[in-house]
């Protein structure tokens, strides 16, 4: 056999086996309560509506649903997305939209559009591993910016920017998840949003706003999307149907300046030609019937209840020295253990106690956040949440002072 490793490209050699995947492969055991996934709750999928719409689509427009589609996306779906967004405080047109095969593709193409090997990129610390992996594949050099309960710390970002300008470094972009961030659940405050936009203008960098959870707000007011706060050339906004509809359709979209959309469409053409016409046609009809808004109204109270359940279980069971975020929406919260604990080491014991989470260091390109864990509250039942948090708390207590 040919020596493959010798033949792999530089990009291929940058691809590392995912620690999370390795760890998650251990969670497939009966009785295990998993807080590890980022999955929507399966009981809430709108199966009946999809069944009815699919029948209609196959009957009325099999040509459009089964044939190749345009790279930019199925035009009726683009129209519906425009209507959806403009109903939510955006001001966009079909030329601002590229349909993608869901968020990971949006992130990956956006990063490939801008990042060359050794380019510095600013990322929240912690951040989404899928984003980190796509940037790493391009050879990005990560500049982590700490985040707190108001999101990314814009003062520290400014310091770094000043330093990099002085050093003549050619940074290009910041990757941020401003709404109910993955993993922390934290939302970037209105004040910090304004500061971030100001900085992007002063220091000339692109903001990649990844916002899969924005519609899942349980309470409080949503700050403006970054995309609406500046010229559209400066913010690229990534959206998905995976968290509010069904991930199995693999559909999302990029909202950006038409020049960027045109360039991304050329890239998408050689990436996968087009996204599924079939799932696009179903989704367009689902939106046309205004079913998404109705569905979101069903998901929100269900997830809010689960979040409340998890927060009260944490309050009830966790020992002193352990803290957590209080997300106003989304799927996740972020637990901080005492500094001396290592959530990766604890993970194997957690599995033995039949409870799983994602280790904190998975959310950092340099292995930081070792004393954190990400907990998902959307997928498990309330009963599982209480039991699982109780198991986790027992484990953590057994390590206090060790």
- Which residues inside 190-249 make contact with its own copies, applying CB under 8 A? 200, 204-206, 231-234, 242, 246-249
In the complex, least distance from residue 74 CB atom to its own copies, rounded to whole angstroms:
10
Burial class (CB in 10 A: 0-12, 13-18, 19+), 45: middle
3-state DSSP assignment of residue 52:
helix
In the complex, least distance from residue 130 CB atom to its own copies, rounded to whole angstroms:
7
Q: What is the largest CA-CA distance in the chain?
A: 66
- Alpha carbon dihedral 295, 49, 278, 131, in 10-degree steps, equals 20
Instruction: With beta carbons less than 8 A apart as the criterion, state whether 316 and 113 touch.
Output: no
146 near its own copies, judged by CB under 8 A: no
Q: Which is nearer to its own copies, 109 or 396 (CB)?
A: 109
3-state DSSP assignment of residue 168:
coil
According to CB under 8 A, which one of 65, 157, 161, 197 is a site residue for its own copies? 65
Site string for its own copies, 300-339 (x = CB under 8 A): ----------------------------------------
Applying the rule CB under 8 A, the residues between 252 and 271 that interact with its own copies are: 257, 259-260, 263, 266-267, 269-271
In the complex, least distance from residue 368 CB atom to its own copies, rounded to whole angstroms:
20
Instruction: With beta carbons less than 8 A apart as the criterion, state whether 122 and 145 touch.
Output: yes
In the complex, least distance from residue 56 CB atom to its own copies, rounded to whole angstroms:
10
Q: Which is nearer to its own copies, 159 or 231 (CB)?
A: 231
Residue 264's φ and ψ, nearest 5 degrees, are -65, -35
Q: Which is nearer to its own copies, 78 or 336 (CB)?
A: 78
DSSP state of 32: -
Name the strand (E) or helix (H) holding 235.
Answer: strand 235-240
According to CB under 8 A, which one of 36, 69, 365, 396 is a site residue for its own copies? 69
Size of the site for its own copies (CB under 8 A): 83
Query: b vs e for 244-283, b when ≥16 Cβ sit within 10 Å of the residue's Cβ?
Result: bbbbebbbbbbbbbeebbeebbeebeebeebbbbbbbbbb
Q: Which is nearer to its own copies, 103 or 371 (CB)?
A: 103
In the complex, least distance from residue 222 CB atom to its own copies, rounded to whole angstroms:
25
Give the residues across from 97 on adjacent strands. 255
133 near its own copies, judged by CB under 8 A: yes
Q: Which is nearer to its own copies, 7 or 221 (CB)?
A: 7
3-state DSSP assignment of residue 47:
helix
- Cβ contacts of residue 222 below 8 Å, gap of 6+? 179, 214
Instruction: From 75-83, 132-140, 287-295, 355-363, give the range in contact with its own copies by CB under 8 A.
Output: 132-140
In the complex, least distance from residue 196 CB atom to its own copies, rounded to whole angstroms:
14
Site string for its own copies, 276-305 (x = CB under 8 A): xxxx--------------------------
3-state DSSP assignment of residue 108:
helix
Q: Which is nearer to its own copies, 28 or 221 (CB)?
A: 28
134 near its own copies, judged by CB under 8 A: yes
In the complex, least distance from residue 6 CB atom to its own copies, rounded to whole angstroms:
9
29 near its own copies, judged by CB under 8 A: no
In the complex, least distance from residue 261 CB atom to its own copies, rounded to whole angstroms:
11
Q: Which is nearer to its own copies, 131 or 346 (CB)?
A: 131
- Alpha carbon dihedral 123, 124, 129, 132, in 10-degree steps, equals 0
Instruction: With beta carbons less than 8 A apart as the criterion, state whether 113 and 125 touch.
Output: no
Closest CA to 147 of 107, 180, 188, 179: 188
How does strand 332-336 pair with strand 372-376?
A: antiparallel
Q: Which is nearer to its own copies, 146 or 248 (CB)?
A: 248
55 near its own copies, judged by CB under 8 A: yes
In the complex, least distance from residue 276 CB atom to its own copies, rounded to whole angstroms:
5
In the complex, least distance from residue 325 CB atom to its own copies, rounded to whole angstroms:
24
Q: Please state the three-class secondary structure of 318-353 as a single string.
A: CCCCCEECCCCECCEEEEECCCCCCHHHHHHHHHHC
Site string for its own copies, 84-123 (x = CB under 8 A): -----------------xx-xx--x---xxxxx--x----
């Amino acid at each position: 056999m040919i020596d493959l490793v010798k033949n792999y490209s530089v990009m291929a050699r940058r691809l590392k086996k995912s620690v999370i995947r390795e760890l998650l492969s251990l969670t497939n055991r009966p009785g295990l309560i998993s807080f590890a996934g980022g999955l929507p709750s399966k009981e809430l999928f709108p199966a009946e509506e999809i069944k009815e719409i699919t029948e209609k689509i196959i009957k009325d427009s099999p040509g459009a649903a089964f044939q190749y589609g345009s790279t930019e996306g199925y035009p009726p779906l683009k129209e519906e997305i425009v209507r959806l967004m403009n109903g939510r405080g955006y001001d966009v047109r079909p030329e601002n939209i590229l349909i993608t095969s869901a968020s990971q593709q949006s992130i990956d193409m956006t990063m490939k559009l801008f990042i060359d090997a050794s380019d510095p990129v600013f990322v929240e610390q912690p951040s989404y591993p899928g984003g980190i992996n796509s940037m790493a594949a391009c050879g990005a050099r990560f500049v982590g910016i700490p985040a707190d309960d108001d999101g990314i710390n814009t003062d520290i970002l400014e310091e770094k920017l000043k330093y990099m300008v002085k050093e003549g470094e050619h940074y290009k972009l910041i990757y941020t998840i401003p709404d109910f961030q993955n993993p922390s659940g934290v939302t970037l405050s209105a004040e910090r949003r304004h500061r971030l936009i100001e900085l992007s203008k002063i220091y000339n960098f692109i903001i990649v706003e990844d916002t899969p959870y924005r519609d899942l707000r349980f309470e409080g007011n949503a700050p403006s999307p970054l995309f609406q706060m500046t010229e559209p050339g400066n913010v690229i906004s990534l959206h998905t149907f995976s968290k509010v509809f069904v991930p199995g359709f693999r559909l999302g979209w990029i909202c950006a300046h038409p020049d960027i959309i045109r360039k991304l469409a050329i890239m998408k053409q050689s990436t996968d030609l087009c996204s599924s016409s079939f799932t696009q046609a179903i989704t367009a009809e689902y939106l046309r019937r205004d079913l998404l808004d109705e569905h979101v109204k069903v998901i929100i109270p269900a997830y809010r209840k689960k979040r409340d359940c998890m927060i009260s279980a944490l309050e009830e069971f966790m020992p002193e020295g352990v803290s957590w975020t209080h997300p106003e929406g989304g799927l996740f919260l972020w637990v901080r253990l005492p500094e001396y604990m290592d959530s990766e080491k604890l993970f194997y014991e957690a599995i033995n106690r039949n409870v799983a989470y994602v280790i904190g260091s998975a959310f950092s390109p340099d292995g930081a956040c070792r004393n954190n864990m990400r907990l998902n509250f959307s997928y498990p039942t309330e009963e599982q949440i209480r039991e699982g948090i109780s198991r986790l708390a027992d484990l953590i207590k057994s390590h206090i002072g060790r």
